[in-house]
Amino acid sequence: MESRAGDANRDARDLGSSRPPTVLERYFTRYYKTDMKGKACEDHCVLQHSNRICVITVAESHPVLGGGRDVAAVDYQISAGCSRLDNRVSGKSKRGGQFLTEFSPLCRITCTNGEQYTIYSCIRGRLVEVNENLIANPHLVRDKPSCEGYIAVVLPKFEESKSVTSGLCDHAEYLRVVATRAAAAAAVPADGDVTAGSAAAAATPSADGPTDDEVCETDGAKTEVQDVVSQSDVSKPDACTVDGGEIDTCKIGV
């Protein structure tokens, strides 16, 4: 029987690389929501574990990670009456927890230049936890977005575990979107002249989904869901590597 290390080496060869696969590559599948709510380049990433639990992060192309921006604050107080920090989940079966839709705001990120960005759930499910470490260390969103800088952990309903990402892009589709943007940007004349139609299209928000004020959704029940986290031998990875970089200690508390 092949060892786990042997499996890793075989997977690395399949990926066309001599290096072993990272924790993210082995156990998580990347999905993306591009231009969230019609806001250009505000892309989100959903890392779905093999045990169906999902980690919400900002995508590599999100403005927070580009343009030399620094993150000043991460605020889980969504409105006067709703804080994601008040989320309550108890027991091995993950009872309780705020119920989220794909348009539920999770937090707001404020950059040092004054820009603000809202991060959304992107999928339906129970909010298992938010990353409270970002309150004291907001820079982790920019420095380690796929690891210590994650936004939240969401557990889809068992019956929706496979369909919950159906409206998202896979990694290949996401790369095509990013490449198309780059080509479009390169085609813009040096004076920045663009047609009114294209400018309006980029500025027009999506009509679907509730407003940011429609928050703290609940289905009115404390549904007991399968404790999938404890069933996985890697549900608490102690290290992960972001995009082939150095290994960082992973603080995802799932």
Specify the CATH number for the domain of residue 137. 2.40.50.100
In a domain, 80, yes or no: yes
Torsion on CA atoms 114, 117, 118, 121, rounded to nearest 10: -150
* Ramachandran angles phi, psi of 253, nearest 5°: -90, 60
In a domain, 92, yes or no: yes
pLDDT of residue 221: 38
In a domain, 86, yes or no: yes
Per the structure, the count of domains in the chain is 1
In a domain, 199, yes or no: no
Q: In terms of residue numbers, what domain contains 92?
A: 23-188+209-228
Question: What is the full per-residue pLDDT of the chain (254 aa) written as tens digits?
Answer: 334 444 444 444 444 456 777 777 788 999 999 999 999 999 999 999 988 899 999 999 999 998 889 999 999 999 998 999 998 877 666 667 899 999 999 999 999 999 999 999 999 999 999 999 999 999 999 999 989 999 999 999 988 988 999 999 999 999 999 999 999 999 887 665 544 444 444 434 444 454 554 444 444 433 333 333 343 333 443 333 334 444 343 445 44
In a domain, 168, yes or no: yes
In a domain, 6, yes or no: no
In a domain, 64, yes or no: yes
The structure's pTM equals 0.70
In a domain, 245, yes or no: no
Q: Which two tokens stand for residue 196?
A: 């009114």
